[in-house]
């Protein structure tokens, strides 16, 4: 589309928002995207690079040589730079870092790369404005001027003592409204929420949401201020994580989008579907064991889907409520024991209602004998209890082992619940119908 007129491309992109340009480049092929990036000046191209899709980004940085990439990274804030470098193999990454012009930046980036990508340390940027509590407003404005180019958005100025311990914050509003010889120590707010570098991203997001913060200081183990997290990074994180949760729940293994290729989407979906299928095949074996009983009471087969589906639905409901509670890290949790009792009560209520309903329909509407109705109703009751229990316990166990508890609502657990449900169903049937 655009092999010819460089000037035209440059002019038409001027003044367009970088996120929009990035969205266009995502759709172009890689050569075209790199061609456009090379046309633009470094600072503009760097801003666009940050906004690219991860897939396109990996392709683009693979094609660029280290010196070229270093020139772009020199224009970025340290957290964005680290997010890009983490996508490269170690060897190339070091090449790029050694080509950076600003030595302070390469130190900052190396520092950030040490942290887990989804911890507070991995989310933070090293660029922020801090003021010593002994400074006055004029000195602070000088510092803002000095850092103006590095720090794109200021939000708050963090106040530290001589040993870099975080004391509090002062808003730009206060700086503007104060007279120029006011001391920072007289106007700063000492009450300040900060997070340690090792805190998980999800928890950081919840803190920012709860306390309505747009930036959050990060401190190291010695309570020294080492960085700040801004709300735009958190918005990206929240979106990524809610997509991950939903994909985990629906058993899609990789991070895919509707625009990916047919083969890639199939590949991401098949593993979980196969687990479901293998579960189903095992279920067939279980039912096969009761074939004699089934041939005597052929109607038992009719209610297999009912029992299996109810077990699955109940399990998903229980687990999703637990996952939600885990995700929001509520402060006032009941003890595990109280939660267990409560889950049991809910399951008892639901199990009784559903069991009685099914019994009534089977006996009074479908006209089966009451012993048969009792079998189906009792099986329902047991399955609801069991599925609730599994649905409550599984995410808690997964969370304990550091696995995303959302997969508890996925096909794996649903399949396990189905199998358990079948076993319970035929167990009850054998006992009551004396098969």
Site for its own copies in 319-338 (CB under 8 A): 320-325, 328, 330-332, 334
Q: Decide: is 29 part of the binding site for its own copies (CB under 8 A).
A: no
Using CB under 8 A as the binding rule, whether residue 357 contacts its own copies is answered as yes
172 exposure class (CB count in 10 Å sphere: 0-12, 13-18, 19+):
middle
Region from 65-73, 93-101, 119-127, 354-362 binding its own copies, contact rule CB under 8 A: 354-362
Contact 346, 324 (CB under 8 A): no
298 is a site residue for its own copies (CB under 8 A): yes
Distance between CA atoms of 74 and 258, rounded to whole angstroms?
Answer: 34
If one asks whether residue 154 binds its own copies (CB under 8 A), the answer comes out as: yes
Residue 205 beta carbon to its own copies: minimum distance, rounded to whole angstroms: 8
26 vs 203 by CB, closer to its own copies = 26
Residue 187 within binding range of its own copies, rule CB under 8 A: no
- Judged by CB under 8 A, the chain residues 91 through 150 that form the site for its own copies are 141, 144-145, 148
- Binding its own copies (rule: CB under 8 A), the pick from 366, 393, 432, 435 is 366
Distance between CA atoms of residues 54 and 106, nearest Å? 22
Least CB distance from residue 361 to its own copies, whole Å? 6
Regarding 258 and contact with its own copies (CB under 8 A), the answer is yes
C-alpha–C-alpha distance, residues 270 and 411, integer Å:
12
For 378-397, give one letter per residue: b (16+ CB within 10 A) or e: bbbbbbbbbbbbbbbbbbbe
Q: What is the CA radius of gyration of the chain?
A: 29
Using the minimum distance from each CB to its own copies, give the nearer residue, 38 or 153.
Answer: 153
Indicate which single residue of 81, 213, 379, 408 sits in contact with its own copies (rule: CB under 8 A).
213
Residue whose structure tokens are 């700086």:
175
User: CA distances (Å), 337 to each of 27, 101, 325, 342, 395, in order?
Assistant: 53, 58, 16, 9, 16
Tokens 């801003």, residue located: 47
| Subset of residues 391 to 430 that bind its own copies, contact rule: CB under 8 A | 409, 411, 414-415, 418, 422
Report the residue number, 7 or 258, with the smaller CB distance to its own copies: 258
* Residue span 40-69 as binding mask against its own copies, x where in contact by CB under 8 A, dash where not: ------------------------------
Q: Which class for 51: exposed (0-12), middle (13-18), buried (19 or more C-beta within 10 A)?
A: middle
Of these, 30, 361, 393, 432, which contacts its own copies (CB under 8 A)? Answer: 361
Q: Binder to its own copies among 227, 312, 373, 395 (CB under 8 A)?
A: 312
CB of 154 to its own copies, least distance (A): 5
Smallest separation (angstroms) from its own copies to the CB of 202 = 11
3 binds its own copies (CB under 8 A): no
Residue 247 CA to residue 333 CA, distance in Å, equals 27
d(CA 152, CA 127): 9
């Amino acid at each position: 589309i655009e092999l010819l007129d460089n000037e035209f491309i440059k002019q038409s992109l001027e003044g367009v928002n970088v996120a929009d340009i990035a969205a266009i480049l995502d759709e172009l092929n890689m050569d075209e995207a790199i061609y456009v990036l090379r046309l633009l000046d470094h600072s503009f191209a760097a801003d666009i690079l940050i906004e690219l899709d991860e897939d396109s980004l990996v392709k683009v940085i693979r094609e660029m040589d280290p010196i070229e990439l270093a020139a772009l990274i020199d224009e970025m804030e340290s957290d964005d730079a680290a997010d890009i470098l983490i996508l490269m193999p170690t060897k190339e990454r070091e090449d790029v870092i050694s080509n950076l012009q600003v030595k302070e930046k390469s130190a900052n980036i190396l520092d950030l790369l040490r942290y887990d990508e989804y911890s507070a340390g991995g989310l933070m940027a090293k660029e922020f404005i801090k003021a010593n509590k002994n400074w006055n407003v004029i000195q602070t404005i000088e510092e803002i001027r000095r850092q103006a180019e590095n720090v794109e958005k200021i939000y708050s100025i963090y106040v530290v003592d001589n040993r870099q311990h975080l004391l509090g914050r002062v808003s730009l509003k206060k700086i503007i409204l104060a007279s120029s010889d006011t001391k920072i120590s007289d106007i700063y707010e000492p009450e300040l929420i900060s997070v340690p570098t090792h805190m998980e991203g999800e928890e950081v997001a919840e803190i920012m949401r709860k306390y309505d913060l747009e930036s959050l200081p990060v401190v190291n183990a010695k309570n020294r201020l080492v960085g700040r997290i801004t709300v735009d990074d958190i918005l990206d994180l929240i979106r990524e994580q809610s997509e991950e949760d939903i994909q985990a729940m629906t058993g899609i293994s990789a991070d895919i989008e509707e625009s990916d290729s047919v083969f890639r989407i199939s590949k991401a979906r098949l593993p979980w579907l196969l687990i479901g299928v293998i579960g189903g095949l095992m279920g067939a074996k279980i039912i096969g064991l009761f074939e004699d009983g089934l041939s005597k009471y052929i109607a038992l087969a009719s209610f297999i889907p009912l029992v299996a589906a109810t077990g699955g639905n109940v399990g998903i409901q229980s687990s999703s409520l637990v996952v939600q509670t885990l995700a929001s890290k509520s402060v006032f949790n009941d003890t595990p024991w109280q939660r267990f009792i409560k889950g049991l009560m809910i399951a008892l209520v639901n199990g009784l209602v559903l069991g009685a309903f099914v019994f009534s329909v089977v006996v009074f509407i479908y006209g089966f004998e009451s012993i048969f109705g009792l079998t189906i109703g009792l099986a329902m009751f047991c399955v609801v209890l069991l599925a609730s229990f599994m649905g409550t316990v599984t995410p808690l166990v997964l969370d304990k082992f550091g696995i995303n508890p959302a997969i508890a609502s996925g096909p794996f657990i649903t399949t396990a619940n189905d199998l358990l449900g079948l076993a319970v169903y035929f167990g009850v049937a054998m006992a009551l119908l004396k098969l």
